[in-house]
Amino acid sequence: MPTLRDIRKRLKAIQNTKKITAAMKMVAAAKLRKVQDRMLNFRPYAIRMESVLSDLAKVAEREIHPLFVLRPRKTIEVIVMTSDRGLCGGFNTNILKFAANYMNTTKKEGIEVSLSIIGRKSRDYFRRRNVPMRKSWIGLSGRITYTNAQEIANDLIENYTNETIDEVVLIYSEFKSLLVQKPTMKKLLPIGLLEIEESQKEGSLLSGDFLYEPSMETIFEKLLPKNIEIQIYRALLETSASEEAARMTAMENATKNCGELITKVTLLANKVRQASITKELMDIVGGVEALK
């Protein structure tokens, strides 16, 4: 049975852990509030941009822009977004399992998979499994800027136009609520294959003839690369908000568990202390009886 000193040391350690998890929860809540506002403000713009270009792609000729061109699916680029840090429950695990299942299914279809990752956790996961990675971006968690999205988009556009890859798929975590973060797959390239939910199609443009000003080529030249940047930036914000929400929930649960442990260990310490006092009293009584 542990001594009273050992129990008190354990109790002190749990109390310190509780202070840390409570502080981490408060920090995650503050970060979540900021990134959630950015994400919610940007989401309608990204959805509308995707909807408009999807409608235009239905009536445009595929040869008008390299990002419209459809090619046989020989190589698919999969971009996996995770966080750089842990302590956020099953957030990263859910994304990585989702990505691994998709990659395995794609390979069974005879399609080559090219992997790029965003986040240290995904890099470490695939590195341990000896999965080759074409490109990696580390250190974006908590410091997301539009420049990051532009850098990633430029790399993808260059490889797609050079026919190094034939399709681009983005796997990230979509923020649903504080308790729900859903791993999601989005097809970025070629544009026009983007799948839009029915709720997002409401109010979309009808297929038909459009008037382009200044010209169709000029508009597509400007908007198509911009759309890739916007969709990547939205995914970065969604993943960041999901990460902070998952971390806040995980730290809240950890704080509650520490409180329950403190109660149990305190009761154990009291029992050990009472047993020690009782033993000392028995020794004193025994000594008095022996002296008689």
Active-site amino acid positions: 88
Tokens for 194? 């983007």
Tokens for 134? 């074409």
Yes or no: say if 185 and 171 are a contact pair by the CB < 8 Å rule: yes
